[in-house]
């Protein structure tokens, strides 16, 4: 048993609308931690909407309590409503502020005003820049399924039921038994957790992987996919090369190599992590070209006007797909002639919340929690967007965003 100072962690009730049922730690994980980290205890704010019920936490020996004021650390998932923030506390959640997202500006302002310390899950990275923790794998799982589901609805060639109707990932896999896909060509983009989830579903559905050059050169009499990573997607036109570290530092010096795939692809499953300066896969007006044959795009990364420039809005789990007119670029209902279907949902893992939460908690325990309970670490410092009312050193660029008022 590892010793730590007396630390009390609270699991907060999710307050963002639409609601999210995922948790940072499952009842079994909380029970294990209390047994193996002497001095650590948990409180759970009651919530009717969690994928793990209040009674499951109680059965695991975790105390339910509405008031978490005596907790040292508060764990959530999505953005915390400004009115729910407690001053002078340390929070961990996905704040979605690092890209200066306009809809969360008031959240960061309130965090600074209330002298809150915010450690953002999205900013927890290994020394090489790889994300440590996240729901990306299950976003990829659900996103790939939904992308294929949308293509099936558009063409009428096959039918897939919704993920959220399945009890868990194991049950979802069972729905693929006997599935026969047409001779589609699918591109998977990205190399991180999201892409791993996308590829997992391709393999479970029996879609064959082929190399990018072979993918571009021929048609197949069975369903295939190719995975495009950084070197396949981007090139520096001055050097004719791709260098990963240079690209992440100076993405604006690169251009996209994706256009040939728009002429050979039926379904695009996008798992690229996009930020300002990264080249888009294609331009919005490219969809007007006769040789642009992509019919369905699952933009799992879901960056509006990002790597998929025709994705301009986020849908809900219940209604995940919308259309975009090839001629006008205007939004249409899905599955219309002359349109491209876009699957874009911001909380895809919430279709498999128990599996996603268990996976998330495992990463939190393995890579983050002990540093959080003891003396901190460089990893935590780099992920601290705000500390006691001040922006972290790496987030000074957010100062204008934090000060600007309506």
Asked if pLDDT for residue 286 goes beyond 90, the answer is yes
Q: What is the pLDDT of residues 311-324, one digit of tens each?
A: 999 999 999 999 99
**Residue 276 C-beta-side C-alpha neighbours within 13 Å:** 4
Report the number of secondary-structure helices (H) and strands (E) in the chain: 14, 18
- Percentage of residues in the chain having pLDDT higher than 70: 99
Asked if pLDDT for residue 404 goes beyond 80, the answer is no
Asked if pLDDT for residue 258 goes beyond 90, the answer is yes
Asked if 380 and 308 sit in the same domain, the reply is no
Which helix (H) or strand (E) element contains residue 299? strand 296-299
Q: What is the pLDDT of residues 84-106, one digit of tens each?
A: 999 999 999 999 999 899 999 99
pTM attached to this predicted model:
0.90
In the prediction, which pLDDT does 405 show? 66
Residue that terminates a domain, selected from 335, 351, 367: 351
Asked if 338 and 375 sit in the same domain, the reply is no
- Structural domains in the chain (count): 2
Q: Is 338 contained in some domain?
A: yes
In the prediction, which pLDDT does 81 show? 96
Average pLDDT over residues 287-316: 95
Pair of tokens at residue 49: 């909407």
In the prediction, which pLDDT does 1 show? 63
Q: Is 288 contained in some domain?
A: yes
Output the domain CATH number for residue 314: 3.40.50.720
Asked if pLDDT for residue 367 goes beyond 60, the answer is yes
Range of lowest pLDDT (157-161, 323-327, 361-365, 400-404): 400-404
Burial 335-347 (b: 16+ CB within 10 A, else e): beeebbbbbbbbb
Q: Find the domain containing 258 and state its range.
A: 136-351
Give backbone dihedrals phi and psi of 183, rounded to 5 degrees, phi first.
-80, 65
Average pLDDT over residues 212-217: 98
């Amino acid at each position: 048993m590892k010793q730590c100072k007396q630390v009390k962690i609270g699991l907060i009730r999710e307050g963002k609308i639409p609601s999210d049922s995922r948790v940072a730690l499952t009842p079994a994980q909380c029970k294990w931690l209390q047994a193996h980290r002497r001095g650590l205890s948990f409180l759970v704010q009651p919530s009717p909407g969690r994928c793990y019920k209040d009674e499951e936490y109680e059965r695991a020996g975790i105390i339910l309590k509405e008031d978490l004021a005596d907790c040292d650390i508060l764990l959530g998932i999505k953005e915390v409503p400004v009115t729910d923030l407690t001053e002078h506390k340390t929070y961990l959640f996905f704040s979605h502020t690092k890209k200066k997202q306009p809809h969360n500006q008031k959240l960061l302002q309130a965090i600074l005003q209330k002298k809150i310390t915010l450690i953002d899950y999205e900013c927890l990275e290994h020394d090489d820049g790889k994300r440590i923790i996240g729901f990306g794998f299950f976003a990829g799982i659900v996103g790939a399924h939904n992308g294929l589901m949308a293509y099936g609805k558009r063409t009428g060639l096959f039918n897939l039921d919704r993920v959220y109707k399945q009890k868990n990932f194991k049950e979802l896999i069972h729905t693929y038994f006997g599935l026969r896909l047409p001779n589609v060509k699918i591109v998977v983009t990205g190399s991180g957790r999201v892409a791993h989830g996308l590829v997992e579903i391709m393999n479970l559905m029996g879609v064959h992987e082929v190399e990018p050059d072979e993918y571009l050169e021929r048609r197949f009499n069975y369903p295939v996919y190719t995975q495009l990573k950084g070197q396949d997607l981007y090139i520096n036109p001055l050097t004719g090369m791709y260098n990963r570290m240079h690209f992440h530092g100076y993405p604006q010096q690169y251009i996209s190599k994706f256009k040939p795939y728009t002429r050979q692809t039926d379904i695009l499953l996008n798992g690229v992590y996009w930020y300002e300066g990264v080249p888009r896969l294609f331009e919005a007006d490219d969809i007007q070209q006769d040789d642009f044959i992509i019919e369905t795009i699952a933009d799992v990364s879901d960056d509006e006007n990002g790597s998929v420039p025709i994705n301009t809005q986020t849908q809900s789990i219940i209604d995940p797909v919308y259309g975009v007119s090839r001629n006008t670029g205007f939004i249409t209902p899905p599955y219309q002639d002359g349109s491209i279907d876009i699957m874009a949902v911001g909380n895809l893992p919430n279709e498999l919340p128990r599996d996603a939460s268990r996976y998330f908690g495992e990463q939190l325990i393995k890579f983050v929690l002990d540093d959080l309970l003891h003396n901190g670490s460089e990893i935590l410092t780099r992920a601290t967007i705000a500390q006691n009312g001040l922006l972290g050193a790496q987030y000074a660029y957010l100062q204008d965003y934090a000060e600007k008022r309506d």
